[in-house]
Chain A
Amino acid sequence: DQQVKQNSPSLSVQEGRISILNCDYTNSMFDYFLWYKKYPAEGPTFLISISSIKDKNEDGRFTVFLNKSAKHLSLHIVPSQPGDSAVYFCAARVSGTASKLTFGTGTRLQVTL
């Protein structure tokens, strides 16, 4: 039972354009969401997060949007750069469960020249 879903296994975007990665969740108890980025042969690294009390969080070229009613969040990368090519994991947490994260299956982003 996949509580966090990333329905697009891959995405290809041209350099300079916007990349939009989507994530859906089913557990309404989730109240904190994170995006991790993973390069080949490395572990995932934290990218950006958002609390359920917000609907947007921005950090440089990266913005995460949260739509609680739709149980949907998205990561926008503007402008996309070749170095952004990686696998992006969406993760979610329930308050009171310490640091336990539930991850999605990941989306592989390829930024082309």
Chain B
Amino acid sequence: DAGVIQSPRHEVTEMGQEVTLRCKPISGHDYLFWYRQTMMRGLELLIYFNNNVPIDDSGMPEDRFSAKMPNASFSTLKIQPSEPRDSAVYFCASSLLRPLDEQFFGPGTRLTVL
């Protein structure tokens, strides 16, 4: 398996623009997670899905952030409008159904908002 795939790997945009990050989880995994990594807060969970249904979005910082999972093999995280403080590395991860299964992370998308 290719592992979790994220695109783009790098994104540079200007403040106010819409940004869409994409993720393809490992085939057969039931859970999908979106994280944001910053120096100050480490890895923060933004939202996670189980069988394509959002379960907990309490980590989504503002209404500017939204996430969708239209099918088992694709998810998007959208920021509209983007702000400089959104600059971070965004990771997608997936895992199997069993509660103690480890999460497998993608390589991340480095977002820079100018």
Interface residue ranges, A against B (CB under 8 Å):
2, 6, 32, 34, 36, 41-46, 49, 89, 91, 93, 95, 98-106
Contacts and interface: CB of A to CB of B under 8 A. Distances in A.
Interface residues of B, number: 28
A44 B42 contact: no
A99 B99 contact: yes
B108 to A, nearest CB: 6
Interface in B18-77: 31, 33, 35, 39-45, 48, 50, 55-56
A99 B48 contact: yes
A36 to B, nearest CB: 8
A2 B4 CA distance: 27
Given A100-B48, A105-B41, 17 more contacts: A43-B106, A46-B102, A46-B104, A89-B43, A91-B43, A93-B100, A98-B31, A98-B48, A99-B31, A99-B33, A99-B48, A99-B99, A99-B103, A101-B45, A103-B44, A105-B39, A105-B40
B106 A104 contact: no
Contact of A98 (B40, B93, B99, B108): B99
Task: Tell me what chain A mostly uses at the interface: helix, strand, loop, or mixed.
Answer: loop
7 contacts: A32-B100, A45-B104, A49-B102, A95-B99, A99-B48, A100-B48, A105-B41
